[in-house]
Every structure is written in C-alpha cells, then in structure tokens.
Structure 1
Amino acid sequence: MSTDTAMVDNRKASLPPIEMGEVMSGSDMLLRCLLLEGVEYVFGYPGGAVLPIYDSLYSSHLKHILTRHEQGAIHAADGYARATGKPGVVIATSGPGATNLVTGIATAHMDSVPLVCITGNVAQHLIGTDAFQEANITGITLPITKHNYFVRNVEDLPRIVKEAFHIATTGRPGPVLIDIPKDVNNAKAPFYYPETVKLRTYNPTVKPNSLQVERMVKAIAEAKKPVILSGGGIVAAGAEKELLEFAEKTNIPVIPTFMGLAGFPGGHRLCPGMPGMHGSYAANQALLNTDLLINMGARFDDRITMGRTKEFAPNAKIIHIDIDPAEIGKNINAYIPIVGDVKNVLLAALPKVGRADSDAWVAQIQAWSAEHPYSYKPSPEGRLKPQRAIEIMYESTGGDAIVTTDVGQHQMWVAQYFKFSNQRSFISSGGLGTMGFGFPAAIGAQMAHPDKTVISVSGDGGFQMNQQELAVVANHNLPIKIVIINNQCLGMVRQWQELFYEHRYSQIDLSVSVDFVKLADAYGIKGLRASTEEEAERIWQEAMNTNGPVLVEFVVEPEENVYPMVAAGNTLDQMVLGDEK
C-alpha cells in the first residue's frame, strides 16, 4: 500500500459513521463524498448559491481555506495538486464566482493538472431566466475542462463526484467541473456512494503495446546520437525514478522541457538543460543533431519547435510516448508511436534495453554546455542582476525547495539558474502562461507540504494580480518565502518591444506601484528589500533564518534581457546568445 493510499484509508476510518442509505441533503452528500475521496483541503469563496454547502462545511471534517479571490482559490488548489499529484478541490458560487475560476481552469487544462471544481448555480426553475448571478458555467468551460457536469437530481450527486475524481486523476489528468443548482444542494435523498467507476466511453490506455516497446529498444541499439525529451508527463506519472534509471542504463542525454524540469535532476551529467526559445545552447544543438529523439510525455509545443516543425530535429527518427493518443502525430509525426502511461512504458523497457553507443555523443553535448553555459555580465554600476538573485536562492537551498513562479522573465531565469532535483519541486504555469499564478500556487504547495521550504518567485507585475492572498499567508502563518523580482516594468513585454519594436516601449512602466515591504507589513508579514548583490545575500539569509512568512523584494537591473533567445518564427539554430561573461 502506498503512503497516499494509506492516508486516504486513515481519513476514511476517522469519518463519522453513517449507514449507506441514510437520508441527507445534497450539500451533506457532496462533503461526505469529498471526505471519502481523501480530500483534506478545499479552497474557496462563499456566495449565495453555495450557502447550503458552506452551512454543511460548518460542522465538517474538511479544512477550508478562505482565499480573498476565486482566482487565488483555484491557483492554490492547482499548486496543491502539482505539489502532491492528488486532485485539488475548489468551491465557488454562481455567476461571477464561477467565471472567476475560468483562467485557473484553463491553466490546469493546458498543463494537465487534476482539479475538481465545484460551482453553485441558481435553482433549476430559474435557469434560463437571467436570474441574479446566473451563468452557464458548464457551457463556458466546455473547451477547457476534461469533462464537466450539470447536476439535475440529488440522487445522481454521489455518482457524479466519484466519476469526477476518477476522470480528473486517470489517463491524462485534467480539471473536471461539477455545477450544482441550489435546489439540488437543498434536496434530500438516501446516500449511496459507488465503490467503482465504469464509464463505457472512457478507458485510457495505460499499458503500452509490447511490440512498440521492442521497436524502441531496437532503435536505441542502432542510434549513435539519441536524446530523451522529457515532459510534464514524467511528473504526472510519477516516473522520475524510472527515467533516471533508464537514462543512466542507456547513457542517453535527457532534455527536460519547461514542464518537465523537476522530472530529471538538473545537475546530472546527462542533463544539458531545457530546450526551446530560452533554452540552453547545448540542449538546442542536441535537438538539431540527434538521430533518435525519444519524446516522453511532452507535447512538441511551439516554444520548443518554434512552430517550424519541418526543421525541428531534422535528422532524427521520432519516438513519441504519451498517454493521450491525440498528442501523438498532432504536431510532429512519430516513427514509433507508443500510447500508454510513461511510467509503464519505462518499466516495460528497462529489462530489455542496453547501453547505447553514445559516449562520443554525450561528450559532444557536454562540450557544448561548457562552451556556452547560461551566463550574464555583472552590473558595472553594482546593481543586482536578477540571475544572481536566483543563484543566491539556489545556493542557500542546494535545490531542496519547492519553487513556484509567476510568468515572465523571472520565470525563465528560475528555469535556467535553479537546478531542480526533487520530485514535484517546480510549479509554474507553462501552457497558458498565467500571470498571477505563482503566489497563490505557493499557498497550495505549502499547505500540502508544511515542513518543506516553499519559495514563491514573482515579478512586480504578476504579484500585483493576486497580492491580496497575503491575507491567507498571514492568517495561517505559512512560512513561504515570497520573492518579488522588481524591475519596475513588464519585463518580458519590454524585452520584445526592445528587440522587435525598435524600443517603442508601450504601456510597460510599473515604476509607480505599491511599496511591497510596507504592504507586507500591513498584513503583519516581515518585509525585506535589496538592490545590490551584497544586500541580497544578507537579507536572503535573514529571510531563510526567519520562522514564518517573509516577503523579499529584489530591486534588479530594469533593462536586463533573458538570453539565450530564439525569436518567434526562427529555428533553433538561430539562437541569440546575448551578453556573455
């Protein structure tokens, strides 16, 4: 029995006893179902249509985290899910409460994160009348959920909740929404919770075809320049250990995508860093020259291929492993397609595969890494460089931390300069690129792992999108180290306007913003600020030695750019390396 399974069983054992068939309200049924699914935390914000649920919560065993905005709630639930692999749960009321979840649902959908989103709606007799706070949230979210439900009968509610958790967590994970009208929450019926789920049209393929695995083994034996492109599917499948064993046994370099960064040790001799638009020189050169590319749970998205799929890995045979058959062949044709859970594929291949003839190839990639590492020039004026701020965080933790990021330049610098080695230690919005995600996601991660170091890294722009969640940090005394990389502008937009719009800086100035240190103090949170490397090293040490939450503002060089960079529409061999040391 796994630790997670044991925890769920223990929670079930501690529930107040009820008999199957006991009559209860829909809202009581809902909470009972959540407890039976092993849910510990629910993130949410109350309102009229979910008042029956919140009344039931009053005497429930569930721990509810009251955020200060529904978007904060769903990003926190997302962070909890990414940090644990278990589904995050969020509750919002009808109308604006439900629509405030939309960005978070789309974020989870793009990054394959298991969420169960529970929304209230007006009573069924009011549906379609434009009633107060009525919104067709199932229609709105149909394109951005793995599945969604509108509950019409209270008797169906337990089955629907069981199915929602099953769908969210199996196959390719994703968000599932359950919309419950107020009359269904108030209605009463006998409670029966199904033990199993049988869905005729939903049966994900988790075990690979053995003949395709044999073909992969043969292709590896014949390759001279193989590489593994490891994506978020490695993390979702919990296949980090198997990937490490596979790479070391075959001596094949591993190039983790942005979403796969915590799936393989960043400091390993076989890891040249991430590929793509802001990837490493060595990783991109490896993709340009490989003769066998083994894609394990990645999407071949445009930030890696740059949209130039015909010029991507031009000399390679492509093996694509994914649990979602729709991904295989969607962007790039596969020479060997393998549908299945990537962990199962690795377990099937490990006894059969041998060491590749790749010593010279590995040496070449390591030489590229030494020739053009990630680098930057120190500021002649003594200003703090953002890259150095990330290095200071990494050096103080040795990589033993959960790091969440927002979106923008700081996100790329974390990906470049923080070498992740622990499972589920990097949490960021990849596919949708959602500003405002990183800070509330850190709340969910810290709730999931109260004894671990959690660092939230945001820009001054993204942080202000959900800065109200400082109230949650203060209320629960969460020991998150909240880092703001303050360059007083929308940094990534400024970089593109500099490089591609002739320095025509349009609406990127954030110099008139809140005093972040005073803001932290207003919430009763310790605030620190640094603008030089010496100050940064000192105050970061102070922050790490402080029990409880600390907000650290790093005031950095405002016109620093993220390099290397491949401009949109170019190919990976057209990298701009930028200023080197």
Structure 2
Amino acid sequence: MAPKNKPPKAKNADAKTITGAEIVLRALADQNVDTVFGYPGGAVLPIYDAIYNQNAVEHILVRHEQGAGHAAEGYARSTGKCGVALVTSGPGATNMVTPIADAMLDSIPMVVLTGQVPTHLIGTDAFQECDTVGVTRACAKHNYLVKDVNDLARILHEAFYVATTGRPGPVVIDIPKDIQFASGTYVGPETIKHRTYQPRYEPKAQRIEQALELMKTASKPIFYTGGGVINSGPEASKILRELVEETGFPITSTLMGLGAYPGEGDKFLGMLGMHGSYEANNAMHDCDVMICVGARFDDRVTGRLDAFSPNSKKIHIDIDPSSINKVVRVDVPVVGDCGQALKALLEGWKEKKKKTPSLKAWWAQIEQWRAFKSFDYPSSTEVIKPQFAIERLYELTKHRDDVYITTEVGQHQMWAAQHFKFSQPNHWMTSGGLGTMGYGLPAAVGVQKAHPDALVVDIAGEASIQMCMQEFSTAVQHKLPVKVFILNNEWMGMVRQWQQLLHGERYSSSYSDALPDFVKLAEALGGKGIKCDDPTKLDDALKEMIEYDGPVLFDCMVEKAENCLPMIPSGAAHNDMILSDIKGDEIDEAGKQLV
C-alpha cells in the first residue's frame, strides 16, 4: 500500500509538491488574504515557520485567541472580505469558540485554522488535544478535519467558498501537526467546484411578482431591513435606497442592518426592536405590508410573537431558505440574494407602476409618533449623559467618510445604535446575535488593520472593555491607532437596568467596585489615556482623542443610573414600550398607552 501522504500525480501544470504548512500559506495568498490574526502554539508551529518564510500574508499577533477571532470578524465586516484566524490546538481552539459562534449568528465570513495533535495521537487525550470538529460542529457553518495532506489545498479553497457564499459564516479547518509537516500536491482555487453546496442567488420571478402585488396595494407598508443587505455588498444598499425613494415607503432596520439606509434619511424611522424608536416599533405593529429584507425575525425585534405585526402581510427576502418561516410565517417567501431581489423589485416597480393607495395618512400617523422624539433624554450641565457623549462623538466626526464604529455589548451599544447616525454600510461593527462582551476592541483592531488611515472608535462600557482589554497591547505593537471611548457608569449597566425594572431593584453582582485607572492602564500598555467628567469639556477631550496619532483609551465618566430607553420588556408587544418619564408624560397626555 502506498504511504498515506504520498502526493498523487499532478493533474495540471500548476500542481506542485510542497509541505502542508506551505500549502496553507499559498492557498491564503491565492484567496487574496493579506492579513491573518493569530496566536502561535506547538500544534501550529510549522505554519508559523511558513509565515516566517514569506511576505504575501501578514500575521497580526493578538494577546488571546478570542481576540484573533473578533479581529477577523471586524476585518471581514468592514471590508466584505473573508476574515482569517489562526490558533493552536486544545485551549487555542476552545478560546476561538466564542468568536466562531458570534460570526455564525451574525453571518460573518471567516475561516478559522486550528492546529491539532498528530493524526496518530487523535483520540488518546494527548497534550493540548480536543475534539475541535465536535466542539465547533454546532456553532460553525461547516468544519473539516484534514486527514490527508493532498486534500489540504482543496479543503482550504472549499472553505473560503463555503464561508463567503450564500449566507456567510465561519468555517473551521482542523489541521493535525503531521499534516503540516508532510509533503503534498498544491492545487489552485480554480480547480475547486463544490458539488452539493450551491446557494440560490436569483429569486424566482413568480415570487417577485407576488411581492410587487402586495406592495402596490399597501396603504401602511414598511421596509424591515437587516444585515443581509450589507452582506450582499454595497450595490444592494444603493438599490435599497433607490427603491425606498421610488416607493415612498418608510424603512426601519435591525441592529445589524444600520448603515444600509442613511441614518439621517427622511424615510428612516430608526432602529426597531427592544431598544428601537417609538415610531419604528409602532409602525411595525400597525403596518399592513411588511417587506423583510435580509433579517431573520430575531426575538429582540419581534417581541411577543402572537402580537407581532398582527394585521400585516409579510414578504421575506433571504438567501438562507432555512430562515424563512422558521420564526414567523410569511405570505411571500423570496429565496435569493438581497441585492438581486431588491433589483428585481425596483425594476418591477418602475415597469409596472400603477395607481397605488395614498400613503399620506400613514405618514401623518408616523409623524405623530416621531414627534414624541423617544430618544430624547433630560439634559444636564453637571454630569455627562451617555446619550450626549455619543451625540457629540457623532457631531465631531460626521463630516468624515472614514469613520468606523465598533462596540462592546451593553447599554453603550444601544445608545450608539440610537444616537450615531450611520450613512454607509460596513461602517458599524457590533455583536448582535450572540451579544458578546469583549467584541469591540479586537474588532476595532481588525477594522483598523483593514483601513489603516481611517478613524476607528470602539464605543465601550467599563465592564465590557475589560473582557479583552489586553488587545490594546496588540494595537500598540502593530501601530494601529484605535480609539476606545468608554462610557463609564461604574455599573454593568444593562444588567443593572434589568435588575431595576424587572427584578425588584435587587442589584446582584452588577456593581463594579474595583475598576482600574484606565488612564494609567493605557499608559502602562503604551498608549494614551484621557479622562473627562465635565460636559463643558467633553468636546475638547474628544478632539484630543480623535487627533492623537496612536491608540487611545478615553475614560468618559457618565451618569451612573441612566437607563437605555425606550425598552420593550422581554415577551411584550411592539406597542408596549417603557419610555423615559418625560416622554411617557407626553404620550399619556396624547391618549396613548404607556406600560
């Protein structure tokens, strides 16, 4: 019998016998990968040796494997390309599970390369062994265990295809150490064609016609858009904007869809869902035709399912057929790429446009809801309100086209979504589905690496930033001038808010009483620290942060007990919102119901 790893006869002129580690690097280069985020260890040292001997792919050394995954996510989300992370076996792989699951829920294209113990030791509980394929099976789009070096090139190219096509997601390739040392045949990406995985991009004409018929009879329509529009590419956002203008329909967005339509656009109702605007949530509740584009009816959007848009006909456009009718039954399912479906709707609307119901009454109702200005908050000259801090950051940067915002997870994340008006796709990076604390700083590292001359700001909370604080050192080492803007209320803010509103003000383990001095911490890590607690001095401090040519940690002391409102309590309907006291009084006076 021939040795297992003996290279087969080359099938084309480009085939070349090289080591498995070299195959990895050549495949990455052929996939136009310029950056890998990773952390070395024994089971991937052959790959790191191959990295040392080439210049096509740059390696960014993080401080924790979780940071590598989130950095790859930030890189991918801000560019539309596939992010790549490289970690060792055992704890290296298990530390990657959180970003893999995060990328899966938010549909982020990512290829994760993990080392594995040599093939003959698999299953023996060897040092730093774990069943990476088994561990990641439930949270990755697909995964592979490479058993033959001659399969490695094919698997690598196939992984990029799977990660980036259809509904994007993370793909894991587990590579035993002996496979990295073995010699095998390299084949290029042009030889790869997946036989069974072929997503549908072109929507069925019949479904487009059915959608158009509903749209043309609607008197209270609304576009409900999600991250799928952004994943489809910049052209999809352009088409969406044109379709909104042609139809005159209002539009709202999920957390992941912000930027597909301009935040200051006159048809935009703001974000919807648990911390969405009063007008967006009421319009979703009262609409008669809903056009859902690239969203998945997440529970933070729908609220109580039996009260979700109870009188509407629903159109759902999604490239993932398993997402359709999974949560909400729809009337017109459209399987296909968001961009192509939107283009077909736009062409059909222009071509067959006829007299449609007037939307005057619908917009009049929306303007009444808008007039309550549900994101308003009591102003203060004594303390910095967190909403005010976000607004000032936005006002001081909105003239720039190169501003990218990442966030951690918590109140600050929702305030950023409410008060920072995104005008472009791919400029907002946040953890939506998994809600991963610690996401923002390493994601900002990935974004900054992809856009070295841009202004990249991680809007953070003082609790969440400590999850992956060590990645500030990564930014310093690699001269990536990320800015971390901490809204410091000395609480786990969202936990405290829920405990106040829903758990009888029993503040169990939600107070941070041993916080670091963030200014000294920034300096200790080689960056710049800034602190501000005075609203009259905030603009000057923000300008100092923006203009500094290096990593900055800005400790912005904000109102401690501020709640992020509006808020739909878990299990409530869209029109059952908790509002701020000042807004609640106005709505009561107008005869509206306030929960």
Q: TM-score range by the shorter chain?
A: over 0.9
Q: Does 1:455 align with 2:457?
A: yes
Once residues 196 and 261 of structure 1 are traced to their aligned partners in structure 2, the CA distance between those partners, rounded to angstroms, is: 38
Q: How far did 1:444 drift?
A: 0.4
Q: How far did 1:194 drift?
A: 4.2
1:338 to 326, 334, 342: 334
Q: Does 1:366 align with 2:362?
A: no
Moved more, 363-372 or 60-69: 363-372
Tell me if the contact between 1:377 and 1:579 (Cα under 8 Å) persists in the aligned partners: no
Tell me if the contact between 2:473 and 2:526 (Cα under 8 Å) persists in the aligned partners: no
Q: Which residue of 2 aligns with 1:398?
A: 398
Moved more, 540-549 or 556-565: 540-549
Q: Which residue of 1 aligns with 2:309?
A: 313
Once residues 446 and 532 of structure 1 are traced to their aligned partners in structure 2, the CA distance between those partners, rounded to angstroms, is: 29
Tell me if the contact between 2:114 and 2:174 (Cα under 8 Å) persists in the aligned partners: yes
Residues 496-517 of structure 1 deviation map (CA, whole Å, 9 limit, x = unaligned): 1111111111111113111000
Tell me if the contact between 1:279 and 1:564 (Cα under 8 Å) persists in the aligned partners: yes
* Partner-residue secondary structure (3-state), 2:530: strand
Residues 121-157 of structure 1 deviation map (CA, whole Å, 9 limit, x = unaligned): 0001100100000000110000111100000000000
The correspondence of residues 410-489 of structure 1 with structure 2, limited to 5 A, is 410-489=412-491
Q: Which residue of 2 aligns with 1:347?
A: 343
Read off the aligned partner of 2:344 and give its amino acid letter: A
Q: Which residue of 2 aligns with 1:4?
A: none
The correspondence of residues 256-295 of structure 1 with structure 2, limited to 5 A, is 256-295=253-292
Aligned pair count reads 562
Read off the aligned partner of 1:126 and give its amino acid letter: L
Identity %: 49
* Partner-residue secondary structure (3-state), 2:431: coil
Tell me if the contact between 1:399 and 1:418 (Cα under 8 Å) persists in the aligned partners: no
Tell me if the contact between 2:285 and 2:574 (Cα under 8 Å) persists in the aligned partners: yes
Q: Does 1:179 align with 2:174?
A: yes
1:84 to 79, 87, 94: 79
Q: How far did 1:405 drift?
A: 0.4
Computed over aligned residues only, the root mean square deviation of the Cα atoms, in angstroms, reads 1.3
Once residues 359 and 212 of structure 2 are traced to their aligned partners in structure 1, the CA distance between those partners, rounded to angstroms, is: 15
Once residues 575 and 495 of structure 2 are traced to their aligned partners in structure 1, the CA distance between those partners, rounded to angstroms, is: 24
Q: How far did 1:363 drift?
A: 3.3
* Partner-residue secondary structure (3-state), 1:511: coil
Read off the aligned partner of 2:196 and give its amino acid letter: T
1:48 to 42, 64, 69: 42
Residues 410 and 194 (structure 1), Cα distance of their counterparts in 2 relative to 1, 3 Å cut: closer
Once residues 282 and 187 of structure 2 are traced to their aligned partners in structure 1, the CA distance between those partners, rounded to angstroms, is: 58
Read off the aligned partner of 1:503 and give its amino acid letter: E
Once residues 399 and 208 of structure 2 are traced to their aligned partners in structure 1, the CA distance between those partners, rounded to angstroms, is: 34
Q: Which residue of 1 aligns with 2:505?
A: 503
Once residues 268 and 154 of structure 2 are traced to their aligned partners in structure 1, the CA distance between those partners, rounded to angstroms, is: 45
Read off the aligned partner of 1:363 and give its amino acid letter: A
Which 5+ residue runs of structure 1 have no aligned equivalent?
1-17
* Partner-residue secondary structure (3-state), 1:60: coil
Tell me if the contact between 2:462 and 2:486 (Cα under 8 Å) persists in the aligned partners: yes
* Partner-residue secondary structure (3-state), 1:482: strand
1:201 to 187, 196, 210: 196
* Partner-residue secondary structure (3-state), 2:190: coil
Q: Does 1:59 align with 2:61?
A: no
Q: Which residue of 1 aligns with 2:120?
A: 125
Residues 197 and 360 (structure 1), Cα distance of their counterparts in 2 relative to 1, 3 Å cut: farther
Read off the aligned partner of 1:491 and give its amino acid letter: G
Once residues 302 and 191 of structure 1 are traced to their aligned partners in structure 2, the CA distance between those partners, rounded to angstroms, is: 46
Once residues 363 and 265 of structure 1 are traced to their aligned partners in structure 2, the CA distance between those partners, rounded to angstroms, is: 21
User: What TM-score do the two structures reach when normalised by structure 1?
Assistant: 0.95
Q: Does 1:248 align with 2:245?
A: yes
Residues 254-277 of structure 1 deviation map (CA, whole Å, 9 limit, x = unaligned): 111111012111110100101111
Once residues 453 and 366 of structure 1 are traced to their aligned partners in structure 2, the CA distance between those partners, rounded to angstroms, is: 35
Moved more, 539-548 or 355-364: 355-364
Once residues 153 and 520 of structure 2 are traced to their aligned partners in structure 1, the CA distance between those partners, rounded to angstroms, is: 47
Once residues 222 and 21 of structure 1 are traced to their aligned partners in structure 2, the CA distance between those partners, rounded to angstroms, is: 59
Once residues 213 and 471 of structure 2 are traced to their aligned partners in structure 1, the CA distance between those partners, rounded to angstroms, is: 53
Read off the aligned partner of 1:289 and give its amino acid letter: D
* Partner-residue secondary structure (3-state), 1:64: strand
Once residues 237 and 358 of structure 1 are traced to their aligned partners in structure 2, the CA distance between those partners, rounded to angstroms, is: 29
Tell me if the contact between 1:376 and 1:579 (Cα under 8 Å) persists in the aligned partners: no
Once residues 51 and 13 of structure 2 are traced to their aligned partners in structure 1, the CA distance between those partners, rounded to angstroms, is: 20
Once residues 557 and 319 of structure 1 are traced to their aligned partners in structure 2, the CA distance between those partners, rounded to angstroms, is: 42
Moved more, 351-360 or 440-449: 351-360
Once residues 471 and 75 of structure 1 are traced to their aligned partners in structure 2, the CA distance between those partners, rounded to angstroms, is: 15
Which 5+ residue runs of structure 2 have no aligned equivalent?
1-11, 584-595
Moved more, 145-154 or 188-197: 188-197
Once residues 391 and 25 of structure 2 are traced to their aligned partners in structure 1, the CA distance between those partners, rounded to angstroms, is: 44
Q: Which residue of 1 aligns with 2:411?
A: 409
Once residues 46 and 273 of structure 2 are traced to their aligned partners in structure 1, the CA distance between those partners, rounded to angstroms, is: 49
Q: Which residue of 2 aligns with 1:5?
A: none
Residues 524-566 of structure 1 deviation map (CA, whole Å, 9 limit, x = unaligned): 2111101121122220011122222222110111111000011
Read off the aligned partner of 1:23 and give its amino acid letter: T
2:322 to 323, 326, 343: 326
* Partner-residue secondary structure (3-state), 1:262: coil
Moved more, 499-508 or 539-548: 539-548
* Partner-residue secondary structure (3-state), 1:470: helix
Tell me if the contact between 1:399 and 1:420 (Cα under 8 Å) persists in the aligned partners: no
User: What TM-score do the two structures reach when normalised by structure 2?
Assistant: 0.93
* Partner-residue secondary structure (3-state), 1:551: strand
Once residues 297 and 30 of structure 2 are traced to their aligned partners in structure 1, the CA distance between those partners, rounded to angstroms, is: 38
Once residues 431 and 87 of structure 1 are traced to their aligned partners in structure 2, the CA distance between those partners, rounded to angstroms, is: 19
Q: Which residue of 1 aligns with 2:159?
A: 164
Read off the aligned partner of 2:379 and give its amino acid letter: P
Q: Which residue of 2 aligns with 1:8?
A: none
Q: Does 1:143 align with 2:138?
A: yes
